[in-house]
Chain A
């Protein structure tokens, strides 16, 4: 099909490369350098979607980030992405897109019935109507509204694309490559500053690409190209297109999203789809330009009504006519530039200018070109449903209140210009309090808050000469302060046409007897009448009006609607715009994909994976791994078709009867050295530490200052002033910070150093009645007898030439040892233990068996030390020294901590000795009691006792001390279980602790 609206010549597209694409299933052609929008318009397609609320037909309104209408569902390389702006999406071969928010099709949309019911859908309609009956909300109303409203559909598939994060530092970050961005970047770069110049569009130059101006002896476009080529060659400059600086955060950190591959049919190998840049800049220059404001009139949302600057951009950049019979409706000189471009390309536009008798160079040029101009005229309403077919126009009185006789004229598009709104989002995000500038009827940045300077149109400066001058100066001065260099640049001669004053008119009154919808927010269907209702109903704060009417809340965030909304509120309220104020500008400036925000931190990369030195052995021996914090630990070693339950039972039983070996490398280890080390331990732990002899280990519990147990573990005195502390796997990092806090801030007089050695040592726990025999084989030259290495003893030894530490400590409750060697010898140690342990039936055991062993022994772990329990609750109160002070001691006399029926750890056995008890279940007195059934305690950990061959659990139970022997019920509504149980001692196996000392 031919591109009927494509000019024969012109534009910056590559006419040698034709690209095919599909929209709503139909095939079209465009050229390399097109956007989806420009290619569709070239093919005469103006109907691209349906509006949010009334499902009115939607076309194109802009040509860039401000686009409120043309959001599409994009299909690229077997992936789909919702809510892509057709005005930003570059065309590539094979692109496919579909309309959103219409069913069954964009041409025939059932939801459009809302358009005829619109008098029933005023502001706040949903709030008012769907209130009752309450039960209808989630069954009827919400699903219906969800189906009817909303834009594109997010993919539920795994996104295979790669997104990267990058951190960068620079002297000057310049956001926007229009005239002010280029001038300031050039001046700063010449002074040797490290510059990043970011442009959100594929082409650099901003307004220079569409303006009829000269800089030096070049056209604006040529000047932009020559500056960019020079900047690209400079080693101190990073020039990035397709890169949107979307957020200005604290301490001059800005975030930029670079669309690396979205313009290609497929992401290249080793390339990311998008890259997020975190940029810390010494100075930020905001050269984000301005966005044209719409004029408000009846049916101003009809496809074919668009910004005049967009029409000009389609002409000059893409060689595309938005219409062949255009009407230009303007309140300032910008509309004339668009009309002149039409005329130069053989199209006859009509200009309606709301001003009475404006005079300027450009108006004269239009008159000389023979363009038909009607002063004091306005568009009253657009006519046509899916595309503009004519316009009702009228003369307007000088006070803009009275309309003359309405006349209908034929046209196929209406290009509107309501003057310009500076893009102040970044400045406002930096904390800059904006100010209202009367001359331009818009807000501009006030005093700089962070290190930001706003230039050019973004600062309300609309002449090229002044923009270039101030931007050269800003770039030069700011860089000079940083680099101490001062390269003078001669200022080029600028040729531009000077504009006359714009008209402070923006909204056409309704003619008598007509009730046209006059839209302010095009994406969310907010009309003048909605704002009027909101104000009548008493909404005053602009933030409230915004939320009640949804003005400015759509994916375009009101880039074209905010200021007109404010003007309307101020008109009705009889206030000036600055008194109404504007809503807050929050990042991101444009929608950012979730993938870009997440970056590489997905799936396995969302956190580091730590593996013990013995990991490969575990893998080879059928270990099934479990996440323990960031560590991967063997949960069990599968033999044949064993289940987790069967394997863990076998492994635990083997520890109780023979000997097992468990990888305990993950345990936190802290090396403590210094003459005051014992004193530190004495203050950190609840028990006494000053008299621990060299070569001995001791179990200790540490509290937080509020008296809650923080962690437990054994600490061994290696030599006079040297200790080796162990912590639980989960708390290792917190304990280290805790010690550093007290040493650096609270007791700096203590002469102690602490350092983490978790990764320096590989650890193996050897547990079971035959563990000593195995140890004798491992260390034949040492006396490891009960006398030579008693319980809680420590010795240093040699494991076949490898330095080793042996601790006689036990978590399983059996006779047990822990052997540590330097990490790189871990695998050697492990293999030796397995090899020499064969004759004692040694088996490796995983965390599941480890849990079983500790639970039936009543040893506490993380599930009991859960940040809510004190020493008493976990039966560790015997370790509280009465003679000394320690961290958290003063809190222990709190009333709740000393009450006589305080919770305590107990054992729980089901009466039938068969039913497993789910962890987290509640304990209650009466299973039949009405809800809420009073909770007496909860199950903290459950196992299958290998010693007794029945289920066994630990629980934290109110008045647990006096509950032994009681019969209660375990209730788990989650698992739908009620289990009668008996409360027993938490020490279910070897209550006297004889085995560990044997």
Chain B
């Protein structure tokens, strides 16, 4: 079970969180004309990275905040966690 540092609450067990997928995906702006390909890429297409991955988690059974977690998908090492609006360095 992973141990995730919620930037709002501190170290918590994985079972308080739910996984939210790739955090680098940006939703296209509303009312913007975009190609089918762009839309498909947003809705369906994801890279399945091995290694460092920036991903979303929600602290569901805690502060309910969505956070960003930088995790190695192969080793589960967590390098850093960020608030939803935090600049990622």
Contacts and interface: CB of A to CB of B under 8 A. Distances in A.
Contacts of A740: 58, 64-66
B46 interface: no
Contacts of A167: 13
B18 A737 contact: yes
Given A251-B3, A683-B30, A737 B60 contact: yes
A744 B86 CA distance: 11
B27 interface: yes
A890 interface: yes
Contacts of A885: 30-31
20 contacts: A250-B3, A251-B2, A251-B76, A253-B3, A278-B1, A280-B13, A705-B43, A706-B43, A740-B58, A740-B64, A740-B66, A744-B65, A744-B66, A745-B84, A748-B84, A885-B31, A886-B30, A890-B28, A890-B34, A891-B43
B85 interface: yes
- The 10 A-B pairs of least Cβ separation, nearest first, read A251-B3, A885-B30, A744-B66, A250-B76, A885-B31, A744-B84, A746-B27, A890-B39, A253-B1, A705-B43
B79 interface: no
B34 to A, nearest CB: 7
A249 interface: yes
A606 to B, nearest CB: 15
B75 interface: yes
A745 B23 CA distance: 9
Nearest to B60: A737
Contacts of A869: none
Interface in B1-47: 1-3, 13, 18, 20, 27-28, 30-31, 34, 39, 42-44
Contacts, number: 53
Contact of B66 (A252, A431, A741, A890): A741
Contacts of A706: 43-44
Interface string A884-897: 11100011000000
A737 B58 contact: yes
Interface in A694-708: 705-706
Interface string B63-87: 0111000000001101000001100
A740 B31 CA distance: 21
Contacts of A705: 27, 42-43
B68 to A, nearest CB: 9
A193 B31 CA distance: 59
Contacts of A683: 30
A737 B78 CA distance: 24
A278 B1 CA distance: 10
Contacts of B30: 683, 885-886
Given A253-B13, A706-B43, A891-B39, 10 more contacts: A250-B76, A253-B1, A280-B13, A705-B42, A740-B64, A740-B65, A741-B58, A744-B65, A746-B27, A890-B28
A31 to B, nearest CB: 42
Given A251-B76, A705-B42, A891-B43, A741 B20 contact: yes
Contacts of A253: 1, 3, 13
B56 interface: yes
A74 B75 CA distance: 41
Nearest to A741: B66
Interface string A703-746: 00110000000000000000000000000000001001100111
B66 A745 contact: yes
Interface of B: 1-3, 13, 18, 20, 27-28, 30-31, 34, 39, 42-44, 56, 58, 60, 64-66, 75-76, 78, 84-85
Contacts of A251: 1-3, 76, 78
Interface string A662-688: 000000000000000000000100000
Most buried by B among A683, A706, A890: A890
A694 B63 CA distance: 31
B1 A249 contact: yes
Contacts of B34: 890
A746 B84 CA distance: 10
Contacts of B64: 740
Contacts of B78: 251
A748 B60 CA distance: 18
Contacts of B27: 705, 746
Contacts of A737: 18, 58, 60
A276 to B, nearest CB: 13
Contacts of A744: 65-66, 84
Contacts of B60: 737
Nearest to A886: B30
B17 to A, nearest CB: 12
A745 B3 contact: no
A251 B60 CA distance: 20
A582 B56 CA distance: 37
A746 B28 CA distance: 9
Nearest to A704: B43
Nearest to A255: B1
A252 B18 CA distance: 20
Given A741-B66, A885-B30, A891-B39, A748 B85 contact: yes
Contacts of B39: 890-891
B28 A431 contact: no
A250 B43 CA distance: 31
Nearest to B66: A744
A683 B27 CA distance: 13
A250 B14 CA distance: 10
A280 B3 contact: yes
A607 to B, nearest CB: 14
Nearest to A737: B58
A890 B33 CA distance: 9
Interface string A173-187: 000000000000000
A167 B85 CA distance: 33
Nearest to B56: A745
